[in-house]
Amino acid sequence: MRSLVARRSPVARRSLATGRWSLVAGCFLVTGALTLAASPVVAGSLIEASETAALVVQGRVEAVRRVDRHGLRAEVRVAEVVAGASAPERVVIAWEELSASRTPRFADGETLLLVLEPLPTASLWRRRFATEPGPVLAVSGRGEAYLRAPDEATLRALGGYLRLSTEARHGADGTAALASMVRVDALALQALARLDALWSAPAEPSSGGALDEAERRRHGRRTPRILAEVLTDERRPLPVRAAIIDLAAKWRLPELRPALQALATAPSPLEANALDAIAALDGALDAQQAVALTRRGDPALRAVGAQHLRGPEAEKRLPGLARSDPSPLVRRAAADALVRSGTQWGMQSAAATLGDPDPAVRAGASQSIAAAGANAVPFLEAALLNDGDSAPGAIAALSLMGPPGRASLRTAATHHRDPRIRALADLALGHGPGHRH
């Protein structure tokens, strides 16, 4: 129940998208080094890449110049080695800009934090740019592990974490260091992603450093305190605070309940996220509170209410919310809740949302119904026979379902009265255009 709102609420959507840009340039490389980079940091990539990097440095970009129509190079004057062996005073970086009208990615005078690794020897980029003596390196994380204008807090926090041994990073010291990085805006989302990965990793008692199950439940003394401190600080970015709420819900961190309750009982852009996390901690929202939420003006709050309706109130309200709420977010949440009810009335109403005018609602309903398995097949077959717009969604759900849906797909591909649906069913079965039965 928590995960839907975490994925679908506007705040949580931003928290997942923060820092992701489309890849524009190919590779960037480094010799002595020529370096390779691409898009700005993606949550989790810089910290994760730093853990196995050959070198992590901070420096100033100088002498940017074009080497050919699309290729550029520059020098980076190394100011600090954050991790790894000592570096030369200057590192040469090179990259490609496919648009001649675009401002070059790196500019004279800007400061970068670069995470570097050895460049594969077969690289065409190496032959193109490796005019400098010395080893050839690449920016880690598929060219995404760099950060512009890192401040002292960023360098200090990352350096402290990287000075830990590999064993220590997988234990309580690593947890404490990652929690401290949540205080640093440039690293906060990445640190939360690494905390989640650390807590998700199987315990390895033989290593002496991995978290055992008891430690994993408490996550050290400092971690919840730091997370609560950042969560309640209104000056901190909303995506970071939303990600903390999601982590609190996933890992059932009761120490964060007071902070969550404060956000859930006062006007806050994180009210829906906090209520959903409280439901995860407590097992459910109060039934009357869920009903009241479905009457709120904010679609995110109505979606939380829909997710947590149960009993007679669910049967009374969910079909109408799925059918006619003005917000696609709410209709999607209601469709999920209808499937989870495990009832005939719930599945029938959920199948009707396969014809929703919003593509995200249709796709979400297809996924939810497909997850119900063979029990959903009769309802999907009924949707296929309707004259409405639900047939394509039913085809999608049957396809996602795998083996339980294949017999129905074969029937639709052969006998459905609409040639478009026959063609869709054929494609869902893996047949190309013009396939003959």
pLDDT at 241: 97
Over residues 374-396, mean pLDDT: 91
Domain count, the chain: 3
> At which of 283, 302, 323 does a domain end?
283
Sign, CA torsion 72/78/81/85? positive
Q: Flag whether 124 is in a domain.
A: yes
Please check the confidence at residue 331 and state whether its pLDDT lies above 50: yes
Instruction: Compute the average pLDDT of residues 278-291.
Output: 93
Q: What is the CATH number of the domain that holds 54?
A: 2.40.50
Measure the CA–CA gap between 248 and 232, rounded to whole angstroms: 13
Backbone angles phi, psi at 69, to 5 degrees: -60, -40
Apex CA 414: angle with CA 410 and CA 415, to 5°?
115
Burial zone of 403 (CB within 10 Å; 0-12 exposed, 13-18 middle, 19+ buried): exposed
Would 163 be classed as within a structural domain? Answer: yes
Task: Name residue, tokens 């100011």.
Answer: 79
Length of the chain: 437
Residues 12 and 103 in one domain: no
Question: Is the pLDDT reported for residue 78 higher than 90?
Answer: yes
How much is the pLDDT for 121? 63
Q: Which of 148, 118, 144, 150 is nearest to 30 (CA)?
A: 118
pLDDT score of 188 more than 60: yes
Report CA dihedral (109, 114, 117, 119) to the nearest 10 degrees: -30
The answer on 204 and 133 residing in a single domain is: no
pLDDT at 24 over 50: no
d(CA 109, CA 119): 26
Give yes or no: residues 34 and 108 share one domain: yes
Q: What's the pLDDT band for 86 if we cut at 50, 70, 90?
A: confident
The share of the chain scoring above pLDDT 90, in percent, equals 59
Which of 265, 283, 301 is the C-terminal boundary of a domain?
A: 283
Quick check: 171 and 211 in contact, CB under 8 A?
yes
In a domain, 295, yes or no: no
pLDDT, position 5: 33
Q: 293 Cβ partners below 8 Å, 6+ apart?
A: 275, 285, 301, 302, 304, 305, 308
pLDDT, mean of residues 349-354:
96
Question: Is residue 235 domain-resident?
Answer: yes
pLDDT of residue 145: 83
Structure confidence by residue, pLDDT tens digits, 201-260: 775 544 444 445 455 444 445 688 999 999 999 999 999 999 999 999 999 999 999 999
Mean pLDDT, rounded, for 338-360: 96
Q: Give the pLDDT band of residue 301 (cuts 50, 70, 90).
A: very high
For the chain, counts of helices (H) and of strands (E): 24, 8
pLDDT bin (cut points 50, 70, 90) of residue 12 is: very low
pLDDT score, position 148: 93
Query: CA end-to-end span of the chain, whole Å?
Result: 42
Pair (8, 56) in one structural domain: no
pLDDT of 96-144, one tens digit each?
A: 677 777 777 778 999 999 888 876 665 566 666 656 555 557 778 766 7
The span from the CA of 79 to the CA of 57, in Å, is 8
Q: What is the pLDDT at residue 209?
A: 44
From 150, 165, 183, the end of a domain falls on: 150
Question: Which distant-in-sequence residues (6+ apart) come within 8 Å of 24 by Cβ?
Answer: 38, 39, 97, 98
Half-sphere exposure of 318 (CA within 13 A, CB side): 33
417 versus 45: the higher-pLDDT residue is 417
121 shares its domain with 1:
no
Instruction: Note whether 145 and 156 are same-domain residues.
Output: no
**167 and 103 belong to one structural domain:** no
Residues 84 and 50 in one domain: yes
Task: Indicate whether 90 and 169 sit together in one domain.
Answer: no
Identify the helix (H) or strand (E) that includes residue 136.
Answer: strand 136-139
What confidence tier does 403 reach under pLDDT thresholds 50, 70, 90?
Answer: very high
Lowest mean pLDDT among 77-86, 121-130, 286-295, 296-305: 121-130
**Contact predicate 345/319, CB 8 Å:** yes
Q: Report pLDDT for 336.
A: 97
The lowest-confidence range among 10-19, 78-87, 397-406, 407-416 is 10-19
Q: Say if 304 falls within a structural domain.
A: no
pTM: 0.77
Domain residues for 399? 311-437
> Residue 261 is encoded by which pair of tokens?
């309750």
pLDDT of residue 207: 44
Asked, for residue 288, whether it belongs to a domain, the answer is no
Query: Which range is least confidently modeled, 182-191, 216-225, 266-275?
Result: 216-225
Question: Do residues 272 and 348 share a domain?
Answer: no
Q: What is the pLDDT of residue 128?
A: 67
How buried is residue 387: exposed, middle or buried, by Cβ count under 10 Å (0-12/13-18/19+)? exposed
Q: Is the pLDDT of residue 154 over 80?
A: yes
Q: Is residue 297 part of a domain?
A: no
Average predicted confidence (pLDDT) for the chain: 82
